[in-house]
Amino acid sequence: MVNLIIVVEDKREEQERALEAIKRSLGDVEEISEEKGGRVNLFRDCPSPMVALKSPDGGGTLIHFAATLEIAEIRLNSVRSFANCLQKVGVITDLMFPAKCGGKEEPNGLGIIAKCIEAKLRVVVCSDIDHHDVDWLRPIFPILGKAHPTGDVPVILDKKDWDKAVALLADTPVSAAA
């Protein structure tokens, strides 16, 4: 059985930071090389790779990145297809990213949170909104948290802290694939 973490983030450098934080949290894991199919990007123009990590015990973790809302929805919809081989599923999402490749940044993370609530998937928001005029969103998150089956949607808004986001995802009940 493997775990799946979907990371919704449009910036490549932030995707790499997220991947490094996930690797640190998992400890002794090995990234399966590109030659062996471990890192694949099916979306040519958008940085949205899939990365496979192997544990010494034979288990593993798949990290599916999504740079847009459109790709994130594909990733989330695929969870049901792989439910029989997934042990745990969790989502870490930015708040501000484009709906489609090349589009402008908008608060599309709200749509990801809503889909996670609906699918009973654990979700953590990891964003940096200080350069966006969206401070008005802060009061929404406690309300969304109450709607989530776990009763909480952890939120990091002032600076992207991937280590904290991964820890919050790991410290809370992560939904088994439904």
Q: List, for residues 15-33, the tens digit of each pLDDT value.
A: 999 999 999 998 888 888 6
Go through 15-36 and write b for each residue having 16 or more CB atoms within 10 A of its CB, e for each that does not: bebbbebbbebbeebeebeeee
Low-confidence ranges of the chain (pLDDT < 50): 173-178
What is the Cα–Cα distance from 109 to 111, expressed in whole angstroms? Answer: 5
Domain range summary for the chain, segments of one domain joined by +: 2-171
Distance of alpha carbon 47 from alpha carbon 156, whole angstroms = 23
Report pLDDT for 152.
Answer: 87
Are 152 and 138 contacting, i.e. CB atoms less than 8 angstroms apart? no
CA distance 69 to 99: 4
- The CATH number for 2-171, chosen from 3.10.20.30, 3.40.50.2300, 3.40.350.10, 3.30.565.10, is 3.40.50.2300
Rounded Cα–Cα distance for residues 142 and 155 (Å): 9
Question: Which residues touch 81 (CB under 8 Å, ≥6 apart)?
Answer: none
For the chain, strand residue ranges (E) read 2-8, 30-31, 39-40, 50-54, 60-66, 86-93, 122-126, 155-156
- Copy the structure tokens of residue 177: 């694939």
Mean of the per-residue pLDDT values of the chain: 85
In the numeric block, the tokens 């940085």 are attached to 47
